[in-house]
Amino acid sequence: MKKFLLIIIRTIKLVWDVNPNRFCSMALYSLMLGIFPFLQIWIFQNLLDEMTKLLAHEKANTYKVMVLLGCQILGLAITQLINHVIFTNSAILSDRLREKISLQIIQKSNAQDLEFFEDDAKLNVLHNAFQEASSRPLNIVASIFGLFQSTITLGSLTLSLVKLSYLFLPVLILFSISIIPLQKKVSENNFLKIKARTSEARKQSYYGNILMSDWFIKEVRLFNLESYFTNLFKTIFNKFVAQNKLIALQQEKAKIHLTLISIVQSILGLFIILKKSLLNVYSIGEFTFYLQSFGLAQSQINNILNTIGELYSHSLYLSNLFYFLDEFPNSKNTNAIGITGISSASFEQVTFKYPSSTYNSLSNLTFSISKGQIVAIVGKNGAGKSTIVKLLCGFYKPSSGSILINGIQLDKMDLRNYRRFLSVLFQDFGTYYLSLQENIALGDIYREINNKEMDNAVKFVGAENIVNKLPKGYSTLLGKWFEDGVQLSGGEWLKIGLARAYYRDSQFLILDEPTAALDTKAEREFLERINLSKENRITIIISHKLSTIKAADIVLVLQEGRLVDCGTHDELLKHDGEFFNLYKTLI
């Protein structure tokens, strides 16, 4: 109960912070809507009594009839108007609230390390949090206003129901609250079932993306994979449909329980009202008033119970959102050390194992690099080359040992400050469907775009012909997702990725397979430029191409996560080792 109340209070504050004025206006309108039903049945009682007199040719106040009739129509009109205003306010609040929560989720996601995005359980938490961001918070507030409105309406009927019997209202309430434990159980079971299928929901989304994305469409068409992935999608979908049927049946049981309670309440209420009417205690107007009051009270009690059930259900789902926002750290070291440049980098007995792995990706790795050096890292697939890149970027911390930058432990440094001097071309570099200018400028997006330096970056990687052939030059939109977009080849995208890395003008440049999609001439020209600019930075190149490896001052040879050899290209060829074996496969 405490957790439930804390979530409700936190959600109210969340909506209040978005727009206090609209929140207050909705509360006021809910109060008015809560009072209006009682006023309308009271007006209708008096109108009916006056009309009865009029029809019986008794002395009746015609003016009063007209006023009561006008009030009844006015009340209905005001009710409709208020409902429209509430709907408009809710739509505006919903948009603002969705924006606020989505930004909170994005900001929290931005603060997480790479490990977070490679962990299935944590991605499930993120998925669930984002799922609840769009509607649950406002649904809770709408339910609270509905609860407030129903309570006001029920309270306004209290005196009239007490006249029927002092025990009437308490008996109605006691009958009704018996359903609360059942509602609680149903809500918890449904929540756990939906939460348990998060991984499969993400898989279903992934299969749909494969079928509807240009990233996969060529292989899907070539290998006739449409039916295969469609069946995978449908299998999960059908499983969810079966689960949803069970969930609906459980909810239906609760509704049947509530319906049975309502029938008993109706019999009790009608018995008391009819008994007193037969004893001529009530006029026709009073009979109608008590009959409507009883029906309204019964519906409001049911509304209150349903709303409490909805609030509890919403709070369970919102716990996913608040768990994500509260439990995951912001990954910010307030005592972090800042630097003004990078002159050296070294690994000292570094061992690393990925969180979900059963073996070490790197073992007791030791090496050092200084500014002015080009270092090539070679090894078979899975040797640990890309893992070194991730550790140097600070995406992971070593399981043991230390990574030193300028002699300072990397895990004690301000990573945002450190990464300002670092530029990387990842093997799976980004292909952004933005303009060519933006694609390159993303390498250093927080400074004003420098056209001269952008031209230099393009020339450095030999991409001038790409700029020249595009219809709008740097302003051309890349990719085919949006209007007037132009798709590039794999080699052209690689050159744009290289230009982005070089545009940053970093002091530590890491290139993972930078020449993989370049032709021989483009590769030779690129390596010549790298060699000419090496004095200004530390350069690491990961490659399987012999011509690229030859350009390095030092070659680090990895085998199953261990450094097995180190030296210049020519030195390593003089003895029969792992590099020599690799060399034979490359020539």
At 167 the pLDDT is: 66
Give the residue-averaged pLDDT of 55-71. Answer: 73
Burial annotation 198-213 (CB, 10 A radius, 16+ → b, else e): beebbebeebbebbee
333 assigned to some structural domain: no
Same domain, 509 and 566: yes
Is there a single domain that holds both residue 105 and residue 220? Answer: yes
Which residues neighbour 453 within 8 Å (Cβ) at sequence distance 6 or greater? 503, 505
Q: Are residues 148 and 178 in the same domain?
A: yes
In this structure, of 99-113, 167-181, 343-357, the range with the lowest mean pLDDT score is 167-181
- The confidence score (pLDDT) of residue 100 equals 85
Asked if residue 335 is part of any domain, the answer here is no
Q: How many domains are contained in the chain?
A: 2
Asked whether residue 361 falls in the same domain as residue 477, the answer is: yes
Above 70 in pLDDT, residue 165? Answer: no
What is the C-alpha to C-alpha distance for residues 265 and 270, in angstroms, rounded to an integer? Answer: 8
pLDDT at residue 351 greater than cutoff 80: yes
Half-sphere exposure of residue 91, counting CA atoms within 13 Å on the CB side?
Answer: 6
Q: Check whether 8 has a pLDDT greater than 90.
A: no
Q: Give the CATH number, domain containing residue 36.
A: 1.20.1560.10
Residues 514, 526: contact at Cβ < 8 Å? yes
Burial class (CB in 10 A: 0-12, 13-18, 19+), 437: middle
**Does 332 map to a domain?**
no
Instruction: Assess contact for 337 and 414: CB atoms under 8 A.
Output: yes
Domain edge (last residue) among 295, 327, 359:
327
Encode burial over 395-422: b for 16+ CB neighbours within 10 A, e otherwise.
ebebeebbbebeeeebeebbbeebbbbb
For residues 271 and 389, membership in a common domain is answered with no
Average pLDDT, the chain: 83
237 with 375, same domain: the answer is no
Share of the chain above pLDDT 70, in %: 90
- Rounded Cα–Cα distance for residues 232 and 126 (Å): 23
Q: Are 461 and 526 in contact (CB under 8 A)?
A: yes
DSSP-derived 3-state class of residue 409: strand
> Furthest-apart CA pair in the chain: how many Å?
125
DSSP one-letter string for 311-327: HHHHHHHHHHHHHHHHH
Query: Do 180 and 286 lie in a common domain?
Result: yes
Q: What is the pLDDT of residue 585?
A: 65
What average pLDDT does this structure show over 491-503?
Answer: 90
Same domain, 290 and 430: no
Assigned token pair, 3: 């957790």
| Residues 474 and 504 both lie in one domain | yes
Q: Is residue 334 part of a domain?
A: no
Domain-terminating residue out of 327, 352, 387: 327
Domain annotation covers residue 439: yes
Is 30 contained in some domain? Answer: yes
What does the pLDDT read at residue 94? 80
pLDDT given at position 276: 64
Give me Rg for the CA atoms of the chain: 35
Give yes or no: residues 313 and 358 share one domain. Answer: no
Range in 101-105, 167-171, 401-405 the model is least confident about: 167-171
Same domain, 191 and 73: yes
Q: Residue 534 carries which DSSP code?
A: G
State how far the Cα of 529 lies from the Cα of 353, in Å rounded to an integer.
Answer: 36
If you count them, how many residues does the chain have?
587
Residue 510 banded pLDDT, cuts 50, 70, 90: very high
The more confidently predicted of residues 275 and 38 is 38
Range of the domain at 311: 2-327
Q: Which two tokens stand for residue 298?
A: 């019964």
DSSP annotation of 494 reads H
The answer to whether 468 and 508 are in contact (CB under 8 A) is no
Give the Cα separation of 26 and 85 in Å (integer): 9
Query: Contact 157/38 with Cβ under 8 angstroms?
Result: yes
Domain containing residue 407: CATH number: 3.40.50.300
What does DSSP assign to residue 477? B
Q: Is the pLDDT of residue 243 over 90?
A: no
159 within 8 A of 344, measured Cβ to Cβ: no
Q: What is the mean pLDDT of residues 238-248?
A: 88
Name the token pair of 108: 């929290």
Distance CA 512, CA 494 (A): 11
Same domain, 322 and 445: no
For the residues 321-347, what does the mean pLDDT come to? Answer: 82
Q: How confident is the model at residue 574 (pLDDT cuts 50, 70, 90)?
A: confident
User: Where a domain ends, among 327, 360, 376?
Assistant: 327
**pLDDT tens digit sequence for 203-239:** 999 999 899 888 888 888 888 889 999 999 999 999 9
Indicate whether 339 belongs to any domain: no
